Amino acid sequence: MFTGYSDKTVDFFWDIRFNNSREWFHPRKAQFDEYIMNPTKAFSGELYDWLTEAYPNEHLNLHISKIYRDARRLFGRGPLKDHIWFSFQNEIDGRENAPCLWFELGCEGYGYGFGYWSQPAAAARFRKLADQDPKELEKLIRKLDKQDVFTLEGPEYEREKGHGDDHLTHWYNRRSFSISCHRKYDALSYSRELLDAVKESYAFLMPFYQYFNKSYRMAD
């Protein structure tokens, strides 16, 4: 059962940042499991059980990141990540970067939200859906505008795609999307109450996930 993270979780992430080598990590693997991986597995597992019961038609899968970086893409960095994340999504074979609900924690803090880190073809499908049914997107925009927990993030095209409705342009011109909440470590992160907070957030974000999942599954 998830009971929260701890100061030892944070300390171990900082230790990784300043001792980023396999030689340092290997004798401390048990500590990594105790402070980071085991609570993350418990946390994500309880969220997965709740999501599959609350939203059975979404057929979500759980993914937990590995601590080791891809050795082909180190680019001068150490072999270890100083953060960990998990996500829930439903991928289509042959299509990468499905929309997801995510949680991440690392040295500086933690965060959670919705993400759709799309490729150009996927962004084009989103714009196609927005053109076909702008009212549904407008409803989601109003929903996001009425709260102050989550922020829309994501890079925009240098050359605007444009849209007749100014209210949609801020979304229409994005190359990818993240509706995110970023927090410093606090009492919430050290307690089981974090589970309820993220459940509530995922329930709020589910309509966004469902809308972008619809565009993800459209034909090109």
d(CA 178, CA 155) in angstroms, rounded, equals 10
- What was the pLDDT predicted at 73? 66
Residue 53 belongs to a domain: yes
Residue 37 belongs to a domain: yes
Residue 150 belongs to a domain: yes
Q: Could you tell me if 201 and 126 are in contact, meaning their C-beta atoms sit under 8 angstroms apart?
A: no
pLDDT, tens digit, for every residue of 125-151?
888 898 888 889 999 999 999 999 999
Q: Could you tell me if 39 and 5 are in contact, meaning their C-beta atoms sit under 8 angstroms apart?
A: yes
- What was the pLDDT predicted at 178? 94
Q: Could you tell me if 80 and 138 are in contact, meaning their C-beta atoms sit under 8 angstroms apart?
A: no
36 φψ region: left (φ > 0), alpha (ψ -120 to 50), beta (else): alpha
- What was the pLDDT predicted at 78? 76
User: In whole angstroms, what separates CA 126 from the centre of its chain?
Assistant: 19
Instruction: Write out the chain's pLDDT in tens, 220 residues.
Output: 999 999 999 999 999 999 999 999 999 999 999 999 999 999 999 999 999 999 999 999 999 999 987 766 666 577 889 999 999 999 988 777 899 999 999 999 999 999 998 777 888 888 889 888 888 999 999 999 999 999 999 888 777 666 556 677 778 888 889 999 999 999 999 999 999 999 999 999 999 999 999 999 987 6
For 40-135, where are the E strands, in sequence order? 61-64, 83-89, 100-106, 110-116
Integer CA distances (angstroms), 52 to 64, 65, 213, in order:
17, 20, 16
Residue 2 belongs to a domain: no
Query: What is the tally of structural domains in the chain?
Result: 1
CATH of the domain at 59: 3.30.930.20
The residue range of the domain holding 40 is 7-216
Residue type for 103, please? F
d(CA 56, CA 53) in angstroms, rounded, equals 6
- What was the pLDDT predicted at 96? 79
Residue 1 belongs to a domain: no
Q: Tokens 């929309």 belong to which residue? A: 99
- What was the pLDDT predicted at 164? 55
| 3-state secondary structure (DSSP) of residue 65 | coil
Residue 114 belongs to a domain: yes
Distant-in-sequence, close-in-space partners of 128: CB < 8 Å, separation ≥ 6: 215, 218
Residue 166 belongs to a domain: yes
Which has the closest alpha carbon to 209: 5, 60, 74, 81?
60
Please list the residues that pair with 180 across neighbouring strands. 113, 151
pLDDT, tens digit, for every residue of 35-63?
999 999 999 999 999 999 999 999 999 99
Residue 148 belongs to a domain: yes
Question: Which ranges of 27-165 does DSSP label H, i.e. alpha helix?
Answer: 29-32, 38-54, 120-132, 134-145
